[in-house]
Structure 1
């Protein structure tokens, strides 16, 4: 990634293990804020962190994590709450999601929100229902959006994440969306994880944008400008 010109990245808490208890979640968080920034720095990347309970990683005692979240967010590497959201739309997911949104709202942190791979059209409106009245939409990044949900989401004030990853969006599909909807509220990401991923998906998409005549300012907005402004960080 650094060789391709990327100077920084944001990594989110997710579901690398079966999160059976708050102890496992907290161990995951500790790795994110201690081990991973050092690994990234050794390879020429500045790493920023988002912490939160992913909907596929809810432990049996989520309240123990949520009560510690305000202190965890004080770490200087932590810039957002995330990745939080809904996956199946269960009541426990909604309760945990809303609790974390309240923490973010109270402390003034942006939120990175997961939308599911399957059932996206059904679950995304439920996600917006939880967001509504809990946190200002302008503080929210809704991730993994696609043409299935874009018509409704562009009517909100949320930033919209285009995940360029196998089985999600190709660079060509992401560019098609940007050509239709503009670059003002979008951010490109690779969603690097244990799922099939491409660490060069953002540079590939940037190259495609250059080839199709997008301006330098448009490219900068979606590659790092928009998200950098929201999270108050630079460079990415």
Structure 2
């Protein structure tokens, strides 16, 4: 089973997590910029954080055989802090970087006017830079927040196929399925989706435009729940092609629209394609395999 986790916050995780993820079949991931828990007080702290997503974290992932990409944006929670809003002026410099495959996480936290302003401004940047957009739907009033998110997306003029609405669930997926946007689901203990609930959604709505992620971060979370979802799909009667579509082909297709995605062409999980020492900085260079760069 090959896995591309399209939303995971590895800055919050340990090297043991990278080892376990590789052993579970994870070969690529996208790390969205997000709230770190402790409020940031100036744009300079964001610059340092963005530099880490583009430099240190891809190197750390490579030591364990995993391709790392990121999304860059001002997250909804900190969009409410006037000390942070000047970050919007910094974003074009970072959105031009090769390792950035989308604008995000953007969207709503508590659906304030400040959040909507930052959301709309960053969708405009996504259009300008021809990048996909990763949209965070709020954890409270999810139905109302998802509906408002779709309205802001429609107002922006961005191609719906360049947008994924994340953190969806049974109450919100129906709002998105006919819009042309991609649908993201976080398999996350206690507060979001479980593998069994995800399987029920896939049985009802199919596998097209579906992205499954762990959203693992500094909270109670599990970076191996993508694997658990694949296993639950197989147990429920989905075949290996269905699992590969959800866990590899769909995230690859979505982020390839950036023109910057750089993943192993086969996504092979066979140990023969990876250097024997997974801690080597060259571990991500899968010998004998070509590299696929997605186009828009």
Smaller-chain TM-score bracket: over 0.9
**Structure 1 CA distance, aligned partners of 2:241 and 2:127?**
30
What pairs with 1:125-144 in structure 2 (closer than 5 Å)? 125-134=147-156, 135-144=158-167
Q: Residues 124-148 of structure 1: CA distance to partner in whole angstroms, max 9, x if unpaired?
A: 1111111113112110010010011
What pairs with 1:117-132 in structure 2 (closer than 5 Å)? 117-132=139-154
Corresponding position of 1:2: 22
- Verify: 1:65 aligned to 2:66, yes or no: no
1:54 to 60, 75, 86: 75
Q: Residues 63-100 of structure 1: CA distance to partner in whole angstroms, max 9, x if unpaired?
A: 53222222212221111111111111100000001000
In terms of mean alpha carbon deviation, does 18-27 or 42-51 score higher? 18-27
CA contact (8 A) 2:213 2:226 kept: yes
Corresponding position of 2:62: 41
Corresponding position of 2:204: 180
In terms of mean alpha carbon deviation, does 224-233 or 104-113 score higher? 224-233
Which protein, 1 or 2, shows the higher relative CO under an 8 Å CA cutoff with sep ≥ 6?
2
Corresponding position of 1:189: 213
Question: Shift of residue 61 of structure 1?
Answer: 4.5
Corresponding position of 1:14: 34
**Which consecutive unaligned segments of at least 5 residues does structure 2 have?**
1-20, 268-296
CA contact (8 A) 1:187 1:221 kept: no
Corresponding position of 2:253: 229
Structure ID, larger Rg: 2
Corresponding position of 1:103: 125
- Verify: 1:149 aligned to 2:169, yes or no: no
CA contact (8 A) 1:21 1:60 kept: no
Question: Shift of residue 162 of structure 1?
Answer: 1.2
Question: Shift of residue 19 of structure 1?
Answer: 2.3
1:23 to 34, 44, 60: 44
What pairs with 1:69-84 in structure 2 (closer than 5 Å)? 69-84=91-106
- Root-mean-square deviation (CA, aligned residues, Å) is 1.4
**Structure 2 counterpart SS, 1:192:** coil
CA contact (8 A) 2:134 2:163 kept: yes
**Structure 1 counterpart SS, 2:40:** coil
Q: Residues 205-234 of structure 1: CA distance to partner in whole angstroms, max 9, x if unpaired?
A: 001111222122221121021121121133
**Structure 2 counterpart SS, 1:106:** helix
CA contact (8 A) 2:136 2:166 kept: yes
Q: Residues 165-194 of structure 1: CA distance to partner in whole angstroms, max 9, x if unpaired?
A: 012011000011001100011011000111
**Structure 2 counterpart SS, 1:48:** strand
**Structure 1 counterpart SS, 2:23:** coil
Q: Aligned pair count? A: 236
- Verify: 1:158 aligned to 2:181, yes or no: yes
| Structure 1 moving runs of 4+ over 4 Å | none
